[in-house]
Each structure stands twice: as structure tokens, then as C-alpha cells.
Amino acid sequence: MKSQGCALAAAGLLVFIITSCATVAPPAEKPASVASSQQPAAQEPPAPTPAPVEQTAPQEPPAAAKPVPPKPATTSTPAPAAEPSQPIEVSKEVYAKTFSEVEKVIKDLNTIISNQEYDAWVSYLTPEYRRQMSSPANLDELSSMPLLKRNNIVLSSLQDYFTWVVVPSRSHVRLDDLVFLNENTVDAIMHVRGQSVILYRLEKRNGAWKIGLL
């Protein structure tokens, strides 16, 4: 188990943001209409013209592929779509104070992760983060990452995620910058090869910084 962890650590910093996309199935094709005709028998008087053979009606596309009829117009104004969180400006004093707090949190997390203290790490998670990262769908997606597949690692629990993803990639990270989404939610940034990488999204809850969902 340690040798696999070393192999993962040697591969460098893992990708911190995992996105997914849904594949849209193409619309069902309508089968070509079937038409049949009869040829008159050779050297026989022409037979009366037969009634035309009824064409096979094309199959209907599945219900899911049918266009959705437009909703009737209403006089009420529709609610605006929710906008993604945008960074905000804060004072130098707020930035410096928050940077100091978050830097300490990240140093504490580095120690916890280096020592593979799973229970201590879990105490830094928001309930939403813990629920999503331990979901079977998310664990399956993470298990398909090339580095894990190459080492024949299949994640089946949040503790597996901690052991095989968090420990090799986040044991020795540092805080280089903060992006404020509000005064109680920040993205902790590390500069890696000229790029800004989000280490954690941290949310201040009950006076303590916790790891939240990106």
C-alpha cells in the first residue's frame, strides 16, 4: 500500500478540479418508409391494377426525444438565472488577517495529511463536501483517473479518496494567494509552473475554516 502511495506521489500534483460533462444522445432516426409493388406475370394479359400497398408508417421517436411544447406566456417576470460566485474586493487589513488564518489552516492540514490522520482530516470538511466526495458516482469517476487506473486502485469510500488522492497530492502544499468570494468564503491558491491552482475552497463556519465544495 505504501509503494502505491509513493508511485502516486512521484507522479506530481494531481489535478484539483475535476469536471464532468453529460453526453447528449443523438435523436432517434425515423425508419425509411416501406413501399411494395407487384410486377405483372410474364406473357400474361395485364391484370387489373392492384390497389396500392399501404406504406409502413414511420415509428415515432421515443417520448424523451419529442420537442417540448413551449409554455404559455405569462404576465409574471421570470426569475433571473443564478450567477456563479464572483470574486470581490476586500481591504488590505481583511486580506492580511484572512491570509494569516488560512495559511495556518493549510499548514495544519499538511501535517494531518502527511501523518495520514483520516479522522482529523474529516473534521475539516463541510457536510456538503463530505457527502459529495463519498458518493459512489464521484468515487467511480475518480477511480477512472489514469494515475489510479495505472496502479489498479479503485476507490470505494471517502477514506480511500483520502489515502490515494489527498495524501499523495496535498501533503506539502503552500498558500500563495487568496481569492475572496465573500468575507467568509475564499479560494486558497498555489502557483504551480506559472498557473494558479485552487488548493481548497474554504468556508468560515462557526468561526472555523472548513473545506467546502468548488
DSSP 194: T
In a domain, 72, yes or no: no
Q: Could you tell me the residue range of the domain that residue 99 belongs to?
A: 86-212
Span 35-58, pLDDT tens digits: 444 444 445 455 544 444 444 444
In a domain, 162, yes or no: yes
In a domain, 173, yes or no: yes
In a domain, 66, yes or no: no
Give the pLDDT confidence score for residue 100 in this predicted structure. 98
Distance linking the first and last C-alpha atoms of the chain = 29
In a domain, 64, yes or no: no
For the beta carbon of residue 132, count every other beta carbon within 10 angstroms.
14
* Domain count along the chain: 1
pLDDT at 202 over 60: yes
> Going by C-beta distance under 8 Å and a sequence separation of 6 or more, which residues neighbour residue 75?
none
The whole-angstrom separation of Cα 99 and Cα 175 is: 8
Pair 203, 209: CB distance under 8 Å: yes
Span 101-133, pLDDT tens digits: 999 999 999 999 999 999 999 999 999 999 999
Span 145-198, pLDDT tens digits: 999 999 999 999 999 999 999 999 999 999 999 999 998 999 999 999 999 999
